[in-house]
A and B are shown apart, each in its own frame.
Chain A
């Protein structure tokens, strides 16, 4: 779903509610939904299998050149799916500081 950052008057709603800007879901800050816990990855245990990347519902992981996965706080909503799916228990959910 596109982020509604401007509430258009009806005449300005794009035709048929089309989304005119390709890939604008990127702008949607699902990180706002996160409440006090977040994942951290132990690179010692990580085997670069990519399960966290596949399962994350909000695309919070991106693969680096060295094969490990970077976590992005802009998108992570703290659901813990990555921690559950990691076959090596490399991901821990930890309390976030205020």
Chain B
């Protein structure tokens, strides 16, 4: 079982990210579960969403405390939230940032596996909006697998209709441009 925690801000679509991956994984015949960290939703406040994907039936409904993967949709969260909290020793942190891989490592003293991508720039160029939740799915899939990139097509079409193509393109670019180092 792979457990993922998404960090975003209210309105950035962290919950949607978790949902879309879960839908794609279920379409592939895997078991998956996605849920928000529930609370009175406030735009801009730090929020988290959780995802579990497994080959077997998932029989656990508590929050994810020891994720295999952490996805950070908004780099400014890094200064106010301990995004790597509970991350497994072999786990990977996937960050949307304009900084380089080395810079992030230096700034936050993070020693584990790290993947970085400038999702803000990709989202602005491809979709003209600074919303990175679908873009970051490309980075997540590149960094950790979980689902095939093609499996995202159906959930993205269902969710975004006419603008699904732009989301797919942004996701593909993030997949290509993500930098992963140990």
Contact between A and B in the complex (any CB pair below 8 Å) = no
B contact set with A: CB distance below 8 Å: none
A contact set with B: CB distance below 8 Å: none
